[in-house]
Structure 1
Amino acid sequence: MEMLVFGHGYSAGHLTPLLTAAGWRVTGTTREDTARVAATGATPLLWPGQEDEVRAALARAEAVLVSAAPTEAGDPVLAAFAEDLPQAKLRWLGYLSTTGVYGDRQGGWVDEESELDGSGPRGQARVRAEAAWQALAKAHGLPLHIFRLAGIYGPGRGPFAKLRAGTARRIVKPGQVFSRIHVEDIAQVLKASIDQPQPLGIYNLCDDDPAPPQDVLEHAAHLLGLPVPPAVPFEDAAPKMSPMARSFYADSKRVRNDRIKTELGVSLLYPDYRTGLAGVLAAEGDGAAWTPAAAHDGTDA
């Protein structure tokens, strides 16, 4: 069994060990960091650069995961391999999108049936990319699955380093709420879908507890035993934020995740940011002995 990953990054790096343990061979493309890809257990290929080798891997693959973001010019995988994908003998094709396709709902709830109204250039690019993948899949009978990811965090991608360095900012925008997903839960959802494909399925990947970003940072500070950073009004912080950071604050919504539970039978390892942050701290070697099961006994609520 072989999988090809276009854009083998953080999420694919956590999926790969699950697949290799189950007997899969994983090949992942990267622009330059072949050592990082190899360290996860995948075979790295440079793309752009090794197009012939990528096409050969695609021809062998039973599964393909697309984790490369669209640009203003469109989806880079479709631009390079749209003619090759229909020739592959795939039983699973996954596209990693984002909950940004729903746009701003002023704190309201969305699910997979909600209208797509992506905010700004990045959100609109994702809406167009999803539509392009769906069109290709329907035209050629490809087993496409779309995964709309909320804010991703996990080991190496948490707030702890900035808190220790004293650079973390508790930015407060009244009414702002985000959904999140721990990277290990992304990996287990993808693995569950690969094991039981449901072509043309669309899944939101997020935890059960949408929350304001300042609450998450405050809890992380408590876990470290550090002072909670003072609140900074969004309007004061915005001029110093990157365009990408500002774009996250443009949308406020709560995302439902029922479908990954009912259709894929997934039980989240980290159903809220409290269990998730404790897990990150333990994984980074800074927390006490901790397991996902222990977090469900109410001691970290």
Structure 2
Amino acid sequence: MVKTLFSFGHGYSAQALAQLLVPQGWRVIGTTRSPEKFGLLRAQGVEPVAFPGGDLSALEQASHLLISAGPGEAGDPVLATLRDRITALAPRLDWAGYLSTTGVYGDKGGDWVDETTAPAPSTRRGAWRVQAEAEWRAIPGLPLHIFRLAGIYGPGRGPFAKVRAGTARRIIKDGQVFSRIHVEDIAQVILASMARPRPGAIYNVCDDNPAPPQEVIAHAAALLGLPPPPAEAFGTAEMTPMARSFYAESKRVKNDLIKTELGVTLRYPDYRSGLQALLEQEGLGSA
């Protein structure tokens, strides 16, 4: 039987996974709220399905299920429609994955967290994720794996465009540090989990080098041969509430489990290697 992935909310990370699966002969079905994206998905070898409102009969053939649609104030959008029917609609699942966020750990003042650290979200978005994780884990018979993703970057989601345009900002907040992950490494972690299922598992997905955000921006500018944006103090910088909320949490995230259990070797173990690769993919090379 052809291995079949049904992907709810087939966005950036799911598309990177599909790029690995389709060449291996997988059937990949991805949902989107935007019918205008159907052509793009088909061009990537993915069968598009509208959700909500589309035909979900292909779930019956799914051997693998990925959920990357994020929750909002009203809760998880997939569970809102399918909570009591998901295992009945998808009776052949060998594996299910939920893409969550390291935001569930909250603010640790720059200290380290691992998968045994109790969630303690300090933002509304983090609290929504904790609730969604719990609701997905509560579904009987679902072979669920949870992936807590750090800040995602990759093609089309790097700092270079803003640095070139002069809109990048170097906000300085003492002690602030984030973990990050290249989207290609997210894909390979998920693929490794599919090959070694352990229902109930939780994995942190991040690189080896948590770093202050201003350091990353300065390095991106250096790669482009441009001066770094001027430093701005967090306390006095003009920022939207959304932008300011990203600085509400500071922590370092451990990634040992994806290495020891799943055997993953990160392609981009730090932001330096990841940014260099993005620049080379643009065809520009190092400045």
Distance in 2 separating the partners of 1:210 and 1:235 = 22
The residue that corresponds to 1:17 in the other structure is 19
The residue that corresponds to 1:273 in the other structure is 271
Distance in 1 separating the partners of 2:105 and 2:43 = 35
Shift of 1:244: 2.5
Structure 2 letter corresponding to 1:26: V
Cα deviation, 1:71-108, whole Å, max 9, x if unaligned, reads 11211111111232222210010000000000000000
Kept in 2: contact 1:100–1:123 (CA 8 A): yes
Q: Does 1:3 align with 2:1?
A: no
The residue that corresponds to 1:39 in the other structure is 43
Distance in 2 separating the partners of 1:77 and 1:194 = 21
The residue that corresponds to 1:299 in the other structure is none
Q: Secondary structure at 1:236's aligned position in 2?
A: coil
Structure 2 letter corresponding to 1:8: H
The residue that corresponds to 1:103 in the other structure is 106
Distance in 2 separating the partners of 1:103 and 1:283 = 34
What is the correspondence of 1:204-223 to structure 2 with a 5 Å cutoff?
A: 204-223=204-223
The residue that corresponds to 2:87 in the other structure is 86
Distance in 1 separating the partners of 2:101 and 2:74 = 18
The residue that corresponds to 2:181 in the other structure is 181
State how many pairs are aligned. 280
The residue that corresponds to 1:294 in the other structure is none
Distance in 2 separating the partners of 1:96 and 1:251 = 20
The residue that corresponds to 1:293 in the other structure is none
From 118, 129, 132, give the equivalent of 1:129.
Answer: 132
Structure 2 letter corresponding to 1:250: A
Kept in 2: contact 1:153–1:181 (CA 8 A): yes
The residue that corresponds to 1:240 in the other structure is 239
Q: Does 1:77 align with 2:82?
A: no
Distance in 1 separating the partners of 2:46 and 2:244 = 34
Question: TM-score, normalised to structure 1's length?
Answer: 0.91
Q: Once the two structures are aligned, what percentage of the paired residues are identical?
A: 62
Shift of 1:39: 3.1
Structure 1 letter corresponding to 2:39: A
Distance 1:236 1:37, change over 3 A: farther
With 189-198 and 76-85 compared, the bigger mean Cα shift is at 76-85
Between structures 1 and 2, the one with greater helix share: 1
Question: TM-score, normalised to structure 2's length?
Answer: 0.95
Structure 2 letter corresponding to 1:248: F
Distance 1:165 1:75, change over 3 A: same
Distance in 1 separating the partners of 2:172 and 2:224 = 21
Shift of 1:286: 2.1
The residue that corresponds to 2:253 in the other structure is 255
Runs of 4+ aligned residues of structure 1 deviating over 4 Å after TM superposition are none
Distance in 2 separating the partners of 1:221 and 1:258 = 31
What is the correspondence of 1:281-296 to structure 2 with a 5 Å cutoff?
A: 281-287=279-285
From 44, 49, 53, give the equivalent of 1:49.
Answer: 53
The residue that corresponds to 1:298 in the other structure is none
Gaps of 5+ in 2: none
Distance in 1 separating the partners of 2:242 and 2:193 = 30
